[in-house]
Amino acid sequence: MLLALDLSTAHGSIAVVRGDDVLFTAAFQSERSHNAQVFAPLRDAIDAAGTELTGIVIGNGPGSYTGVRIAIAAAQGIALSRNVWCVGWSSLTAPDIDAPADYSIIGDARRQSFYLARVENGRLLPDLEIVTPEVARERSANGQTWLTFDAKPPLELPHVLAARPSATRLAQGIQRLSPAELEALIAQPLIPHYLAEAFITTARKPGKAPAL
């Protein structure tokens, strides 16, 4: 019995899945206040799982830093209280639309750049790239199936399909892992999928606090 939670986009998604059975689903829309909307459906999900809960999976992005951090904090709290494991899995592998097993992804990486990624057989490949708008346009015109998890297709590309992360599909993706793969995933730290390293400015004068 798995509880899955994704807050990496403005569309929040929660599910409880056992094998092929989906016992609970909930979705809500929130631009900046996932913390205000997630806890009521999350309580309902916990009630649906009852005492059979064995693990929790969160969509670790890429996407909203705040949303993913809220999901991690909530999931870790439940995992500690229920004595179950908790893992992160890429939100990009769990589209809520019917997509082929292999597809490419384009998304806004801010500062006039875009990320390109590839999912094959339900797994995000490690070679995610940050590219310019010109390269993004050129690379996305290769005839493959392209998805975006942004609110609207980047660069107004007409062939890119809009999708949102599905908590149900997150749970189903974890269920397909072998016992050894799951054990290795459980041992990994639960952190957001960053597109770039955090940028922190340093103080110009000794004793002066860094700029935020």
- The DSSP line for 153-188 is -GGG-TTPEE--B-HHHHHHHHHTS-HHHHHHHHTS
Residue 136 pLDDT level (bands cut at 50, 70, 90): very high
Residue 126 CA to residue 132 CA, distance in Å, equals 19
Whole-number average pLDDT of the chain: 91
Region of residue 81 (left: phi > 0; alpha: psi -120 to 50; beta: else): alpha
Check whether 212 has a pLDDT greater than 60: no
Strand partners, 21: 18
Residue 203 pLDDT level (bands cut at 50, 70, 90): low
Check whether 128 has a pLDDT greater than 60: yes
Strands 113-120 and 129-131: antiparallel
For 13-55, what is each residue's pLDDT tens digit? 999 999 999 999 999 987 665 667 888 999 999 999 999 999 9
What integer pLDDT is reported at residue 31 of this predicted model?
63
Contacts of residue 63, Cβ cutoff 8 Å, sequence gap at least 6:
8, 9, 91, 149, 165
68-85: average pLDDT: 95
113-133: average pLDDT: 95
Check whether 112 has a pLDDT greater than 80: yes
Check whether 102 has a pLDDT greater than 90: yes
Q: Token pair for residue 9?
A: 């986009």
Strand partners, 22: 17
What integer pLDDT is reported at residue 210 of this predicted model?
52
Residue 150 pLDDT level (bands cut at 50, 70, 90): very high
Percent of the chain with pLDDT over 90: 81
Region of residue 122 (left: phi > 0; alpha: psi -120 to 50; beta: else): left
What integer pLDDT is reported at residue 161 of this predicted model?
96
135-163: average pLDDT: 94
1-19: average pLDDT: 95
